Amino acid sequence: MPTPFAVIFDRDGVLNEDYGYAFEPEKLVWIPGARAAIKRVNDAGGLVLIATNQSGIGRGYYSEEQMHGFHAEMRRQLAAEGARIDEIYFCPFHEDAAEDRYRQADHPDRKPNPGMVLRALRDFGIDPKNALMIGDKPADVQAANGAGVDGYLFAGGDLDAFLVACAARTGLPL
């Protein structure tokens, strides 16, 4: 049986256009190459995981249900292409949250902390050396590195091509 591996993506700015607190399904715009990158991981037998800070929930800009609706649209569009996201981890916590239940400074899941990445690895039994993370902010790379995962900073362009280059450096079979 092949060794399980995973690619962990940040969401906004990596998979979808980041127009500031993306939560409306009708405004979903994929980053070039994002759907192809997800399908590439699926086809290679890897897991596609998302680890995303969602402080907009804590700040009261949108609800968890609205975020889940955005994710459902992502999944719907991917399914039409024979692709899937295996799990989405999100962190609604923020020190300036409008709601008490979301107000927490330096929550272990909030990137740059590695909590979401560690949980993803644990949930799926993935060895950190068999994973990589792609994010668009230094905090994403810090979270990955804090979990023992190779993290890569995506500055735009074609995500699928970027993924192939990252996988070659990490040694993942993509």
* Cα–Cα separations (whole angstroms), residue 127 to 6, 111, 148, 154: 9, 20, 9, 23
Helix (H) or strand (E) holding 49: strand 47-53
Tell me, yes or no, whether 170 lies in a domain: no
Tell me, yes or no, whether 25 lies in a domain: yes
pLDDT digits (tens, 9 = 90+) for 64-111: 999 999 999 999 999 999 999 999 999 999 998 998 999 999 999 999
Q: Which residues are catalytic?
A: 10, 12
Q: What is the CATH number of the domain that holds 82?
A: 3.40.50.1000
Tell me, yes or no, whether 168 lies in a domain: no
Prediction pTM value: 0.97
> What is the Rg, in whole angstroms, of the alpha carbon atoms belonging to the chain?
15
Q: Which two tokens stand for residue 122?
A: 């644990």
Q: How many domains does the chain have?
A: 1
Tell me, yes or no, whether 119 lies in a domain: yes
Residue 9 bridge partners (DSSP): 50, 134
